[in-house]
Amino acid sequence: MIGRYRPVFLRWTLVSAAFIGVWQGIVTLSGTPPYILPPPWLVAVTWVANSAILFDHFLVTLTEIVLGLVLGAMLGIASAVLIGQFRSARRWLLPVLVASQAIPVFALAPVLVLWLGYGMMSKVAMATLIIFFPVSAAFLDGLRRTERGWLDLAHTMTELPGNASTSWGARRRWSVLVHVQIPGASPALASGLRVATAIAPIGAIVGEWVGSSAGLGYLMLHANARMQVDLMFAALVTLAVFSVLLWFAVDAALRRAIPWQSDSFNHPEGRPT
């Protein structure tokens, strides 16, 4: 098992080293003062010196992101199912869904802070808002593209002889949705969740910028105002590393949850060169 992951670690080390090298090169060659662009080692020293503070603020942002992801995914899944199942929901909910994305989160952030306060709720709301659309759009697309043959099969299987009870109609629909359509659309839902995971930190950080008393976004803004650019960079690095780890964790979990999904990267013809 470890052997399989070693090249990954090596790759990440190399990419990080190259990034740090370029960064150091720019600082050295341009002679930029550290209060404009701090060199990597200064950021590292600051990161270690302030690790307790960084960790506290990181926990706040982490909570906001995770809560936003959970709520956004739940809302996205629910709205996709509603829109997919009811024509009236499609008529009323779809415009609302699209409008929610037409308004920039940046414009909405101050209002949300005003309504929900400086605390965590306004940031969770922001993250939720930004997350639920890709989840909903992808899942709805998946539900809409259910294999017609599966539906034909399910239709004949769920038709009951004679005059079945009238309540069967609704239960039958629900049953086909739960046992055929939703599992069939789960690869599409997974795509939406991957996009959502990648953009989830945006909602939380924007919210913290507009008004907050804790979180990595707050720390960045605070450090920037006090010309502690090294601390700002330390917060930024923390956020970037965490985002990458979160994405890979979610991706791995989704793969594990949907092992039957065909993956053309495992095929000689589809394998990336």
Partner 1 sequence: MSTSTSSALEPIPSGRAAQNVAFSVRLKAARFTYAANVLFERLDFELQGGMLTCLLGPSGVGKSTLLRMLAGLTLDCTAHDIQCSDGKPLGGRVAYMDQRDLLLPWLSVLENVTLGARLRGEPRDRERAQSLLLRVGLAGQENEPPASLSGGMRQRVALARTLMEDRPVVLMDEPFSALDALTRFKLQNLAAELLRGRTVLLVTHDPIEALRLGERIHVMSGQPAEIDEALCPWGTTPRDPATLHRQPLHAELMRRLGLDRAHDR
The contact set with partner 1 (CB under 8 A) reads 147, 149-150, 152-162, 164, 171-172, 175-176, 179-180, 183-184, 186, 258-262
Nearest CB to partner 1, comparing residues 46 and 186: 186
The CB-of-166 to partner 1 minimum distance in angstroms stands at 15
SS3 86: coil
Report residue 64 as tokens.
């906001």
The CB-of-137 to partner 1 minimum distance in angstroms stands at 22
- Cα–Cα distance, 228 to 53 (Å, whole number): 14
Nearest CB to partner 1, comparing residues 7 and 149: 149
For residue 29, CA distances in Å to 21, 23, 79, 156, 233 come to 12, 10, 53, 73, 20
Nearest CB to partner 1, comparing residues 56 and 152: 152
The CB-of-70 to partner 1 minimum distance in angstroms stands at 23
The CB-of-134 to partner 1 minimum distance in angstroms stands at 23
Report residue 125 as tokens.
């709301």
Rg for the chain (alpha carbons), in Å? 24
- Cα–Cα distance, 215 to 203 (Å, whole number): 12
Nearest CB to partner 1, comparing residues 146 and 238: 146
The CB-of-242 to partner 1 minimum distance in angstroms stands at 32
Nearest CB to partner 1, comparing residues 56 and 147: 147
Kindly state the helix (H) or strand (E) to which residue 170 belongs, with its residue range.
helix 168-176
Give residue for tokens 């990595």.
Answer: 216
